[in-house]
Amino acid sequence: MPIYITQGRYTRDAIKGMIIKPEDRADQVSRLLSKVGGRLIGYYLTFGDYDFLSIAEVPNDTQMAAVLLAAASDLAPNFKSAGGA
């Protein structure tokens, strides 16, 4: 399966929500990936231009796009993703 590396920034609303109700974001990402037949390899919080980096295996570009669109609607609208077939 292709491997995808994604960097992203959280929205202000997502950050406010994480302060009010801290959660393991890796669990949310893992659930999204499993819905399209993928799996989370790693999820890291980062400093600098991006807030996180994820590494995932996903069946194809279409499924990865679906995951990114679902995540963008809730967590982070700014993504940079690379990988695939």
| Helix/strand/coil for 11 | coil
User: Is the pLDDT reported for residue 77 higher than 70?
Assistant: no
φ/ψ (deg, to 5) at 40: -85, 125
Say which residues have a Cβ less than 8 Å from residue 6's Cβ, sequence separation at least 6: 53, 54, 56, 68, 79, 80, 81, 82
pTM exceeds 0.85: no
What confidence tens digit (pLDDT) does each residue in 16-66 have?
Answer: 888 998 878 888 889 999 999 999 999 999 999 999 999 999 999 999 999
User: How many domains in the chain?
Assistant: 1
CATH of the domain at 24: 3.30.70.920
For residue 18, what are the domain limits?
Answer: 3-83
Greater confidence (85 vs 15) lies with 15
Q: Give CA–CA dist 14/75, Å, rounded.
A: 6
